[in-house]
Amino acid sequence: MKTKIINVLAITVVFIMTSCNSEKKKETQISEEPQLEAVEMEATGDNSRTSLDWDGTYEGEVPCADCEGIKTIVIINSDKTYTIQETYLGKETTPIETKGTFEWDDQGQRILLSNDRNPYFVGENTLTLLDSEGNKNNGDLQEFYVLKKVMD
């Protein structure tokens, strides 16, 4: 009789221990799933806006139809404001200054300027002046539409 009681108690203890372990596994599985979902939701694609150090001062000399070139300085700020200084070489000695705001395009690659200005493509330490439709200029002079970032 004592053996039967010991056997029943042993089986009961084994049953209780295995059921407690399965509950811990279920809790662990449940708590891990939301963490995986959160990581997936935070993942975003890389683009100029999110991956580059884009704010700063850019300089270059863009082509001009009736002058030697246009010395161009563009300052873009992290608060989405900009300043452009343009000096028409061989004509004007005083720069023309334009200030305004900008927005990013849907892909986060180009900045769209206020004041009816052409947009710029934002690259690694470069700004490329685009045509009025947002396309890169092609041809022999395309390299002159690229402004280089001034490093301090």
Compute CA 94 distance to the chain's CA centroid, rounded to the nearest angstrom. Answer: 35
**Which of 117, 130, 122, 127 has its CA nearest to residue 150?**
127
Asked whether the whole model's pTM tops 0.75, one would answer no
Q: How many helices (H) does the chain have, and how many strands (E)?
A: 2, 8
Mean pLDDT of 29-56: 63
**CA pair distance 86, 60, nearest whole angstrom:** 10
Q: What is the pLDDT of residues 56-89, one digit of tens each?
A: 999 999 999 899 999 999 999 999 999 999 999 9
CATH architecture of 48-149: Beta Barrel (2.40)
Residue-range domain boundaries for the chain: 1-43, 48-149
